[in-house]
Chain A
Amino acid sequence: MELTGAEILIKCLQAEKVEYVFGYPGGAVLFIYDELFKQTKVKHVLVRHEQGATHAADGYSRSSRKVGVALVTSGPGVTNAVTGIATAYMDSIPMVIISGQVPTHAIGLDAFQECDAVGITRPCVKHNFLVKDVKDLALTIKKAFYLASTGRPGPVLVDIPKDVTTDKCKFEYPETISMRSYNPVVKGHSGQIKKAAQLLIEARRPMIYAGGGVILSDASAQLTKLVKTLGFPCTNTLMGLGGFPATDKHFVGMLGMHGTYEANMAMQNCDVLVAIGARFDDRVIGDPAHFGQVPRKIVHIDIDPSSISKRVKVDVPIVGHVPDVLDDLIKLIDASKLRPDPKALGAWWEQIMLWKTKDCLRYDRKSKIIKPQYVLEKLYEITKGDAIITSDVGQHQMWAAQFYKFDKPRRWINSGGLGTMGFGLPAAMGAQLANPGASVVCVTGEASFQMCIQELSTCKQYRLPIKVVNLNNRYMGMVRQWQQFFHGNRYSESYMDALPDFVKLAESYGHVGIRIDKPADVEPALKAAFKRTDELVFMDFITDQTENVYPMVGGGKGLTEMILAEEL
């Protein structure tokens, strides 16, 4: 029996066990929506803007390790989705985005709602396809899911012209797939792993630096075992938080532009560095020339060869699937009787503890105005460190990363690479749908939140009991901080006048809104909010306008050139 393209697409999604599709209908995808309507296996979540669809699919994926799926129409549907696609691309999130396209005969003729979806998204997808013949559709969808979820994951877009959704052919979903041009290396080179083990054992001032690759490849158990076996200090990048338990004594905090003093000092001064699923980006090591001033041996484990020796030359590159490589490495170390010199390691830890006494995350606890850090500390306590936290982008994001101690992977969901304001709320929707019983919190600021505020309506429609923690300082806080530090206090366009009454706004969407403006009310408000397990609660915390994120490494500066609170 022959099926239409739209029927085939839905059958493919069912075969991939897709639970949710986040989308928005339109002319080019009407036949697909018609088929969605006729079945119940694949549930559709109607967002209020296509950016929300891609972020929601992204949050769904990050919190569940499944492929996130978004469905948008042609033209503006695609262009609106681009921000979310680029966000997922920068953070290597497996997603499949289905976009409608004008009929094949109209392509290139500037038809209504036509845009070159494949061309527009090419630089921000792992791969994309234009399906010109219904006979190619099933195989293309199979390829899309395979590409998105294997190797270094990433978003894959499939553009489907409207006539392809009505054309018919026989349907057969391929069981397996292989592509001659795509064979990601999984197994690490054994000789290289031997070299790495040797370096680790000989290290006197070691450091383990783990990034988002540990989360994406589910290598937390292996990483934790490696660190504990060796007794080495471990730091996580912004993307890697939760990859190693933050409450473990070996954890020295996040590193980078807003990393802890001890993490950055240890990173700079170590003699053997193991980078795992991380990429030495500018927000992590600052100026590579400054970083290179201290001689050290670097082992770099990553699934993507192009991430190795891109910004920093490494000594022992290991390309492979992180958990497998770590398993091999741990086996070698276990088998070897040799261990790092305990004296040297002890002295190194003493040095780190000395750095730690700087207490770089301290803030004024006696303040009569709410300090944002305090809100996050209380949030951590009240949720017992067990919530899924999504964030937007800016100061609140950094404070959440610093003050919420993530002990488990996939609990910290933020746009680290692209830095997309507006990510938090839709990502929380995806995370809540993937984890129905979990406490999902969106930590945000009044500027970021307004970038995807329309999704409050989606939250109501699907009864998503997200807790929104809005750290409202009436500024684009991070912009204001840079202007204070580097632009002579000229707060050019970073103040937000005419803000909405967020409490009333939340209420108008049918949610609960609370305003909190006294430190004493922070804890009771949070407690009250989390008691409302079936409602979205928007907490508008009126926070200190002048608070800054410390430590801070200025743009282009060396990693240890930190601005600390007391120095200002």
Chain B
Amino acid sequence: MRHIISILLENEAGALSRVSGLFSARGYNIESLTVAPTEDESLSRMTIVTSGSGDVIEQITKQLNKLVEVVKVVDLFEAPHIERELMLIKVRAAAKDRDDMKRMSDIFRGRIIDVSEDTYTIELTGTGQKLDAFIEALGRSAILETARTGACGISRGQRVLRI
């Protein structure tokens, strides 16, 4: 099953490679991984989308907690949560396709952030599924380039991940 694991870790050189190394050494899946500093610059927050049985996810969280630079680990799937991913997508938008493309972007609540004679660059956020659906709706031939951030997530309500 798919899980989103959020990690607070020391914002230090090498911390990322310890986490990614752990996943490859123990044969865990990484669907996506994002990391950036938090409001407290000494801490980074990492979001890993992974999949595995309950036992595997339990081992993943235990192994992550064992890393010396990891401060806290939560599996967002334990409670209601929100998940978002950002995609920048460059599409063909030559004369005859231009209006269609604009409409499609509007339907998915995307924003056109760069325009050239034959292209649009659209910014779109949402769950991974929504971004997939947009790609599907456009069709492969219309797409010139995509850049996706990978998912990040946060718990709903009062639950917070902080030290």
* Contact residues in A for B65 (Cβ distance below 8 Å): 305-306
Q: B70 at interface (Cβ–Cβ under 8 A)?
A: yes
Q: A306 and B63 in contact (CB under 8 A), knowing A180-B163, A181-B10, A181-B68?
A: yes
In the complex, what's the smallest C-beta–C-beta distance from A64 to chain B, in angstroms?
25
Q: B71 at interface (Cβ–Cβ under 8 A)?
A: yes
In the complex, what's the smallest C-beta–C-beta distance from B62 to chain A, in angstroms?
4
Contact B14 A118 (CB under 8 A): yes
Q: B123 at interface (Cβ–Cβ under 8 A)?
A: no
* Contact residues in B for A304 (Cβ distance below 8 Å): 66
Residues 490-515 of chain A: 1 if any B CB is under 8 Å from the residue's CB, otherwise 0?
00000000000000000000000000
Q: A393 at interface (Cβ–Cβ under 8 A)?
A: no
Q: How many A-B residue pairs have CB under 8 A?
A: 38
Tell me which of A123, A130, A179 contacts B25 (CB under 8 A): A123
Contact A127 B68 (CB under 8 A): yes
Contact A181 B9 (CB under 8 A): yes
Contact A122 B21 (CB under 8 A): yes
In the complex, what's the smallest C-beta–C-beta distance from B6 to chain A, in angstroms?
15
Q: B18 at interface (Cβ–Cβ under 8 A)?
A: yes
Q: A488 at interface (Cβ–Cβ under 8 A)?
A: no
Q: B17 at interface (Cβ–Cβ under 8 A)?
A: yes
Interface of chain B residues 1 through 23 with chain A (CB within 8 A):
9-10, 13-14, 17-18, 21
Q: A559 at interface (Cβ–Cβ under 8 A)?
A: no
Residues 58-85 of chain B: 1 if any A CB is under 8 Å from the residue's CB, otherwise 0?
1100110110111100000000000000
Contact A306 B69 (CB under 8 A): no
Which residue of the partner chain A has the closest CB to B69?
A181
Contact B62 A306 (CB under 8 A): yes
Q: B132 at interface (Cβ–Cβ under 8 A)?
A: no
* Contact residues in A for B69 (Cβ distance below 8 Å): 127, 181
* Contact residues in B for A122 (Cβ distance below 8 Å): 14, 17-18, 21
Q: A297 at interface (Cβ–Cβ under 8 A)?
A: no
Q: B55 at interface (Cβ–Cβ under 8 A)?
A: yes
Contact A182 B68 (CB under 8 A): yes
In the complex, what's the smallest C-beta–C-beta distance from A150 to chain B, in angstroms?
11
Which residue of the partner chain B has the closest CB to A128?
B14
Contact B58 A309 (CB under 8 A): yes
In the complex, what's the smallest C-beta–C-beta distance from B7 to chain A, in angstroms?
11
* Contact residues in A for B13 (Cβ distance below 8 Å): 130
* Contact residues in A for B71 (Cβ distance below 8 Å): 180-181
A123 vs B71: C-alpha distance when bound (angstroms)? 19
Q: A119 at interface (Cβ–Cβ under 8 A)?
A: yes
A130 vs B17: C-alpha distance when bound (angstroms)? 14
Contact A147 B62 (CB under 8 A): no
* Contact residues in A for B25 (Cβ distance below 8 Å): 123
A157 vs B126: C-alpha distance when bound (angstroms)? 43
Contact A305 B68 (CB under 8 A): no
A123 vs B62: C-alpha distance when bound (angstroms)? 16
Q: A310 at interface (Cβ–Cβ under 8 A)?
A: yes
Tell me which of B21, B58, B70 contacts A181 (CB under 8 A): B70
In the complex, what's the smallest C-beta–C-beta distance from B14 to chain A, in angstroms?
6
A309 vs B163: C-alpha distance when bound (angstroms)? 27
Residues 142-157 of chain A: 1 if any B CB is under 8 Å from the residue's CB, otherwise 0?
0000010000000000
Which residue of the partner chain B has the closest CB to A305?
B62
Q: A258 at interface (Cβ–Cβ under 8 A)?
A: no
Contact B163 A123 (CB under 8 A): no
* Contact residues in B for A313 (Cβ distance below 8 Å): 55
Q: A283 at interface (Cβ–Cβ under 8 A)?
A: no
Q: A162 at interface (Cβ–Cβ under 8 A)?
A: no
Given contacts A123-B25, A305-B62, 17 further A-B contacts (CB under 8 A): A119-B17, A122-B17, A123-B21, A127-B69, A130-B13, A180-B71, A180-B163, A181-B9, A181-B69, A182-B68, A304-B66, A306-B59, A306-B62, A306-B63, A309-B58, A310-B59, A313-B55
Binding site for B on A (CB under 8 A): 118-119, 122-123, 126-127, 130, 147, 179-182, 304-306, 308-310, 313
Give 4 closest A-B pairs by Cβ, nearest first: A306-B62, A127-B68, A181-B71, A305-B62
17 pairs across A/B with beta carbons < 8 Å? A118-B14, A122-B17, A122-B18, A126-B68, A127-B69, A147-B68, A180-B163, A181-B9, A181-B69, A181-B71, A304-B66, A305-B62, A305-B65, A306-B62, A306-B65, A308-B62, A309-B55
